[in-house]
Structure 1
């Protein structure tokens, strides 16, 4: 005889991550009369976004906030900044994410790292009464405490910021890449920081990647080269593919103007001689040459030594703490199976992915959803608006309102860079939590370049 089912009535919905999409999920759950419990590994909401505080979203404020979140913020006296302006990651965290977390109060727990999710009394093998059991979320706090939280459902909005992809062309780290970690960064550097600026000024830097973050890094380095102390600064832009009409994005045809301007800024860096492009270069090894590094391709080509390397080849989802949950993921993208064909980077860019919701995000394990940047797995071009629509639909479904859950309430901007196979060979830096872009969180990080804003920017 099987054990009696543990009722989920009255239990909270666990939301993993207090970035833009996780907080929006909490707001929609509150609006639906459900109880969220947001678990954030960092010391405060928007911790991952703060790590790219110097970069500017290429989504304006009008697209960077969630409607349900604004309703929660309204009684606090909060007002949205100028809708037409573009926030930096720092602006977003300070002016929206933290006030929203404050308004949600004790529904947010910080310093809480989720180390595992399972069904109560069931590992992933056991079928008996599985769907009747609530979820158990294992949490490790920064003070050393552990806790097991019982939840009726789980919304994983933890993003992909924590796991950058390596430089190696095979998807694995290049030989010597780990040993050269002191000369390699996987984030767009903040060249307004004097210490960071000194690291790159007057030096030769390799930038690996072809997305928004790479564009940003090229624009930043070009600006540094034009500054007094930056004389001699040179970028070597390494692309795994060749350069074509779509390499620099949509330009003036992009309905996200800041994103289009970002590609044009990168093109200007090349045209003006501040960056040399090396195409068809798939990294196999990183070798030491004294204090410098020599990059070696799979075809045997060796580049002239460089002082620094900036690797911006995308991010990957952390699925380790979901090992006891039955997920249905695409074998290539690590995105939900129904969503994967809609976001395949060989076919789609931001504006060609139509809005989607709970059905496309569903898994064999009922009641768990990967949302935001994490739902895209290894695919790029995520927009904050897409994540807000996702969690609106998921919250409605959890509340039993399938009519609202199935309704599309979002119209996305059209991009000028839609194309066929091979348009992208990696994910631009961004974060789930960098949702205003293709992301950085960052992660797409999302940002606006020097042409439109001081110093340029990218966005993951």
Structure 2
């Protein structure tokens, strides 16, 4: 009887893991919280990736797809999230042997070891995992020999507060506060066109959204774009330009630098959000004390301050996480943002992704923690 591995998440990494499991004679069971594979990627379908197709197609997945008559995309072209879904994720999930191994609308709620709580040790490594999940029929359970959590971080964005905590009033105003990278030129255009829109963040998600908002203003001239920046130095967001190891990322930073130089957006530097409120129907974004601090008024705020892993359903497993980054301890020195950029992280594998819980791994974006 073949060993089984539960894979949490049917994104590109989860499907690749399942493809490799099949090649090794294992039985993968992929649990996807969304209604279809690639649910998280579909949320940023409008975003063009920094890495070309050659770095986004897994070799084992490609071998599965080859038997279905799949046409390989141009390896040097850069897909959007939507293209990644349409040309790779969907065919892999629906036209290959993986189709029989994927359970959609299956949101994992907890994981433990059968017959063992977190404290009990003797014989623990021989006990299978129990994975509980929720679907349209109600609560379900699955037993597996190993677990890979590749559920990503898209649905657990960091809050606006700069101390890692939500700003006061932040979650009470969802009609004015959005996260990550809304499609301001497409499906979310009506929400932002002709409005005063503030974007909080200094990474590529923030600057990509700011660039799109400036484009939106060309069609909707009343749109006002405000960049809220915790740092006092906007140039840190421009990146390495032509020296960037990911050329598309360098081009994005250079394009943003030009917009800043042209005065295409209002910039508030050293802005540390602490509280939110409403004033005359507009969002009041506060930095510092409520009475004496700085304030910016906007119709909408987009918080693009990164993501963090959801560890809530892993509380009965023995995790080995770095105390600062929430990533596997062996991986932390390789990815610490205080020391590294994306282009300086060496390849890594099972040893860096393992935990004290035998047979359990966190991989993909979630393994990078914060």
Could you tell me the TM-score, scaled by structure 1's length?
A: 0.77
Partner of 2:199: 207
Alpha-carbon distance, 1:274 to partner: 2.1
Partner of 2:152: 159
Pairs within 5 Å for 1:199-238: 199-227=191-219, 230-238=220-228
SS in structure 1 of the partner of residue 184 of structure 2:
coil
Partners of 2:297 and 2:236 in 1: CA distance: 29
Partner of 2:92: 100
SS in structure 1 of the partner of residue 47 of structure 2:
coil
Alpha-carbon distance, 1:245 to partner: 4.5
Indicate the structure whose relative CO is greater, using CA pairs within 8 Å and at least 6 residues apart. Answer: 1
Alpha-carbon distance, 1:255 to partner: 2.4
Partner of 2:62: 70
Unaligned 5+ segments in structure 2 are: none
Partners of 2:278 and 2:247 in 1: CA distance: 41
SS in structure 2 of the partner of residue 360 of structure 1:
helix
Question: Does the 8 Å contact 1:57/1:86 carry over to 2?
Answer: yes
Alpha-carbon distance, 1:142 to partner: 2.1
Unaligned 5+ segments in structure 1 are: 1-8, 379-460
User: Deviations along 1:240-275, whole A, 9 cap, x unmatched?
Assistant: 112165321111111211111111222223222221
User: Deviations along 1:224-252, whole A, 9 cap, x unmatched?
Assistant: 1222xx11322111111121653211111
Deviating above 4 A after TM superposition, structure 1's stretches of 4 or more consecutive aligned residues are none
Partners of 2:160 and 2:295 in 1: CA distance: 15
Partner of 1:350: 342
Report which of the two has the higher share of strand. 2
Pairs within 5 Å for 1:221-300: 221-227=213-219, 230-243=220-233, 245-298=235-288, 300=292
SS in structure 2 of the partner of residue 246 of structure 1:
helix
Q: In structure 2, which of residues 185, 189, 195 is the aligned counterpart of residue 192 of structure 1?
A: 185
Partner of 1:367: 359
Closer, same or farther: CA 275–245 of 1 in aligned 2, 3 Å: closer
Is 1:19 the equivalent of 2:47? no
Partner of 2:82: 90
Partners of 2:195 and 2:259 in 1: CA distance: 16
User: Deviations along 1:295-348, whole A, 9 cap, x unmatched?
Assistant: 211365323411110000111111111111000001111000111111111111
Q: How many residues align?
A: 366
Is 1:48 the equivalent of 2:40? yes
Question: Does the 8 Å contact 2:178/2:301 carry over to 1?
Answer: yes
Partners of 2:279 and 2:234 in 1: CA distance: 33
SS in structure 2 of the partner of residue 293 of structure 1:
strand
Alpha-carbon distance, 1:74 to partner: 0.3
Could you tell me the TM-score, scaled by structure 2's length?
A: 0.95
Partners of 1:198 and 1:16 in 2: CA distance: 34
Partners of 2:102 and 2:221 in 1: CA distance: 47
Partners of 2:153 and 2:128 in 1: CA distance: 26
Partner of 1:327: 319
